[in-house]
């Protein structure tokens, strides 16, 4: 019996490694020349460094991330501050502050001037509770008043990053789940963690080594082009390299491809069909000594600055409005803001701009309703991907949860 995992993004790798751990025979097929999907590292000749397609932040308490890295023996590949802290700078006013939630569930940090959001009153924090009581189908701005210091100076930037769209227009259900898994769990659950030295070293290479050690095949540049089905089962797979696989009765498929590809392969499947972009700027300049690993930036195009040893990289989420702008103009604009935020020379260092047009599905109420579950009408085919119904916005944690859910489903089925 073989499980065919199609797509080697983190959902596919999460599923494949869990299946291999359970002792099942696994064959992974990936269309691209490298694994990792939207989570990949590459050598960029323009900037002269190995960089990630985009900065990725995970949180210390993300359960699926922890389980995945532990499985791969790669738990040491994330770095971040020992204590939960989020430094911010407002480029319009020049103000700087650091939000420092205490580790325990009781959030006494909101009473502390030194740790909380400057200018915030208790009521500004309590107003967020409305999110947790949001009704199904509500937008964030229908569930809570999107205003005040806590919203402007903490929640808006955090939810913009998590939902990857203007959070006012986001699905309250998704924003509430983000709050449940972060603020509601205490600071220890949401210390920022960044893959080090990059995405491939943390999330991709250890998975490929794990699969290789267990005899699982990973074939790159092998695009699934067709699925044959009969009697509500997948019976055959055809690939771009001319290969075709006839499935034995016990064989299974985990389809871990982007939603538009899944819909092409499985006509009639409802999937998210609206997307949001992310723009990342990478600048080859060592950050100033003592610069925080990440800094939130307000009243700017740049939203988050990531300081790596050899480069400074910035993220602009919900970037549909600027995705069409010329690269050099973007690089100049973003660098001017970085220089202001980190007190660096205005001269533009070697740079690269990476645009991901369909970075995530748009985390709106309408799109949330289009997310399918793990199971499909085809008994031996399970879906995985950050766009499936994980309860979370499109994130690494969501992608890995979806992979784990697909693997669990397959394992349960094979034990029947
Ligand atoms: C710039 C950027 C920044 C981000 N920042 C963060 C962040 O800070 N924190 C966070 O948690 N998340 C972040 N995300 C989201 C995160 O990257 C994704 O949620 C996650 O990588 C999705 O993984 P996936 O496996 O679901 O999908 P994908 O990575 O899209 O994987 C799908 C795979 O299927 C392959 N494929 C497609 N068609 C076929 C076919 N026909 N046959 C075989 N293979 C096929 C693709 O090549 C791809 O490798 C970011 C995303 C981007 C783009």
Whether 2 shows a pLDDT value over 90: the answer reads yes
The percentage of the chain sitting over the pLDDT mark of 90, rounded to a whole number, equals: 97
Residue 35 located in a structural domain: yes
Task: Check residue 411 and give its pLDDT.
Answer: 96
Ligand 1 contacts CB of residue 363 (under 6 A):
no
How far does residue 39's CA lie from ligand 1's centre (Å)? 6
Boundary of a domain, candidates 163, 188, 213 = 188
Residues 172 and 103 in one domain: yes
Establish if 67 belongs to a structural domain.
Answer: no
How large is the average pLDDT for residues 195-208?
96
Residue nearest to atom 2 of ligand 1 (CA): 54
**Among protein residues, the one whose CA lies closest to atom 27 of ligand 1:** 9
pLDDT by residue (tens digit) across 298-353?
999 999 999 999 999 999 999 999 999 999 999 999 999 999 999 999 999 999 99
Q: At 303, which CATH number?
A: 3.90.660.10
Instruction: Give the mutation target among 56, 245, 397 for probing the ligand 1 site: most ligand atoms within 8 A of CB.
Output: 56
Query: Which one of 156, 188, 220 terminates a domain?
Result: 188
Instruction: Give the residue from 169, 188, 207 where a domain finishes.
Output: 188
- Closest ligand 1 atom to residue 279 Cα is 1
C-alpha to C-alpha distance for 147 and 124, rounded to whole angstroms: 9
Residues 150 and 104 both lie in one domain? yes
24 within some domain: yes
Q: Are residues 374 and 254 in the same domain?
A: yes
64 domain-assigned: no
Outline where 27-183 has alpha helix (H). 63-72, 122-126, 129-132, 140-143, 149-150, 156-163, 172-181
Asked if residue 296 and residue 256 are part of one domain, the reply reads: no
Pocket test for ligand 1, best of 31, 39, 200 (most atoms within 8 A of CB): 39
In a domain, 79, yes or no: no
Inter-residue contact 258 to 246 (CB < 8 Å): no
Q: How many domains does the chain have?
A: 3
Residue identifier of the C-alpha nearest atom 3 of ligand 1: 54
181 lines ligand 1 (CB under 6 A): no
Q: Can you tell me the distance from the alpha carbon of 379 to that of 145, in angstroms, rounded to the nearest whole number?
A: 45
- Indicate the average pLDDT of the chain: 96
0.95 exceeded by pTM: yes
CA of 10 to the centre of ligand 1 (A): 7
Position 13 in a domain: yes
Residue with the smallest CA separation from ligand 1 atom 35 is 7
- The predicted pLDDT at position 415 comes to 83
User: Are 396 and 331 contained in the same domain?
Assistant: no
Tell how far CA 392 is from the center of its chain. 10
What percent of the chain has a predicted confidence (pLDDT) above 70?
A: 100
216 plus 349 within the same structural domain: no
Q: How far is CA 141 from the centre of its chain?
A: 23
Q: What is the CATH number of the domain that holds 261?
A: 3.50.50.60
Q: Is the pLDDT of residue 370 over 90?
A: yes
- How many angstroms separate the CA atoms of 281 and 117, rounded? 28
What are the phi and psi torsion angles at 12 (to 5°)? -65, -45
Tens of pLDDT, residues 43-61:
999 999 999 999 999 999 9
CA of 309 to the centre of ligand 1 (A): 25
Indicate whether 356 and 369 sit together in one domain: no
Question: How far apart, in whole angstroms, are the C-alpha atoms of residue 400 and residue 18?
Answer: 10
Cα Rg of the chain (Å, integer): 22
Query: How large is the average pLDDT for residues 395-414?
Result: 97
257 lines ligand 1 (CB under 6 A): yes
Nearest to 30, CA basis, from 3, 62, 4, 66: 4
Sign of CA dihedral 10, 194, 98, 181: positive
pLDDT 10s digits, 85-98: 999 999 999 999 99
Residue 89 inside a domain? The answer is no
For ligand 1, the distance from its centroid to the CA atom of residue 52, given in whole angstroms, is 13
Asked whether residue 284 is assigned to any structural domain, the reply reads: yes
Instruction: Using the atom order of ligand 1, give the atom closest to the CA of residue 57.
Output: 8
Q: Is 394 in the pocket of ligand 1 (CB under 6 A)?
A: yes
Provide the pLDDT for residue 106: 95
pLDDT at 416: 78
Question: What would the mean pLDDT of 284-306 be, rounded to a whole number?
Answer: 97
Mean pLDDT to the nearest integer, 154-165: 97
Answer whether the bond into residue 197 is a cis peptide, omega within 30°: yes
Domain housing 112: 95-188
| Co-location of 107 and 177 in the same domain | yes
Residues 333 and 368 in one domain: no
Model confidence at 136, pLDDT cuts 50, 70, 90, reads confident
Q: 287 C-alpha to center of ligand 1: Å?
A: 28
- The length of the chain, given as a count of residues: 416
Q: 258 CA distance to ligand 1 centroid (A)?
A: 7
One domain for residues 184 and 121:
yes
Strands 294-298 and 86-90: parallel
Residue 196 confidence (pLDDT): 86
Looking at the fold, whether 133 and 48 belong to one and the same domain comes out as: no
Weakest-pLDDT range from 124-128, 209-213, 341-345: 124-128
Mutate to test the pocket of ligand 1, among 257, 371, 385 (most ligand atoms within 8 A of CB): 257
Same domain, 378 and 357: no
pLDDT digit string, tens, across residues 6-39: 999 999 999 999 999 999 999 999 999 999 999 9
């Amino acid at each position: 019996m073989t499980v065919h995992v199609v797509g080697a993004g983190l959902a596919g790798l999460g599923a494949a490694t869990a299946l291999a751990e359970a002792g099942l025979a696994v064959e992974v097929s990936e269309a691209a020349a490298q694994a990792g999907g939207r989570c990949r590292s590459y050598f960029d000749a323009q900037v002269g460094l190995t960089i990630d397609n985009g900065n990725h932040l995970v949180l210390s308490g993300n359960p699926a991330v922890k389980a995945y890295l532990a499985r791969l023996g790669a738990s040491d590949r994330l770095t971040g501050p020992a204590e939960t802290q989020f430094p911010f700078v407002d480029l319009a006013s020049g103000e700087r502050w650091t939000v420092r939630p205490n580790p325990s569930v009781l959030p006494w940090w909101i009473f502390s001037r030194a740790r909380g959001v400057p200018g915030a009153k208790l009521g500004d924090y309590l107003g967020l509770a409305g999110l947790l009581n949001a009704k199904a189908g509500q937008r964030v701005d229908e569930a809570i008043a999107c205003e005040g210091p806590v919203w402007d100076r903490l929640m808006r930037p955090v939810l913009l990053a998590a939902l990857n769209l203007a959070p006012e227009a986001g699905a309250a259900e998704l924003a509430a789940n983000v709050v449940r898994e972060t603020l509601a769990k205490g600071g220890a659950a949401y210390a920022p963690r960044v893959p080090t030295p990059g995405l491939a070293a943390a999330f991709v290479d250890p998975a490929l080594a794990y699969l290789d050690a267990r005899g699982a095949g990973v074939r790159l540049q092998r695009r699934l082009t067709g699925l044959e089905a009969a009697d509500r089962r997948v019976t055959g797979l055809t690939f771009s390299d001319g290969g075709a696989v006839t499935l034995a009765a016990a064989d299974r498929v985990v389809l871990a491809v982007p939603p538009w590809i899944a819909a092409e392969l499985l006509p009639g499947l409802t999937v998210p069909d609206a997307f949001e972009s992310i723009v990342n700027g990478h600048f080859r300049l060592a950050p100033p000594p003592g610069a925080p690993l990440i800094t939130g930036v307000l009243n700017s195009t740049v939203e988050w600055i990531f300081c790596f040893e050899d480069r400074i990289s910035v993220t602009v989420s919900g970037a549909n409005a600027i995705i069409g702008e010329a690269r050099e103009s973007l690089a100049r604009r973003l660098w001017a803001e970085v220089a202001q935020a980190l007190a660096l020379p205005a001269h533009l260092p070697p740079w690269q701009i990476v645009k991901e047009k369909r970075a995530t599905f748009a985390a709106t109420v309408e799109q949330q309703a289009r997310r399918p579950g793990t199971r499909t009408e085809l008994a031996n085919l399970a879906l995985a991907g950050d766009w499936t119904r994980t309860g979370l916005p499109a994130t690494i944690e969501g992608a890995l949860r979806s992979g784990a859910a697909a693997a669990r489903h397959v394992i349960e089925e094979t034990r029947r």
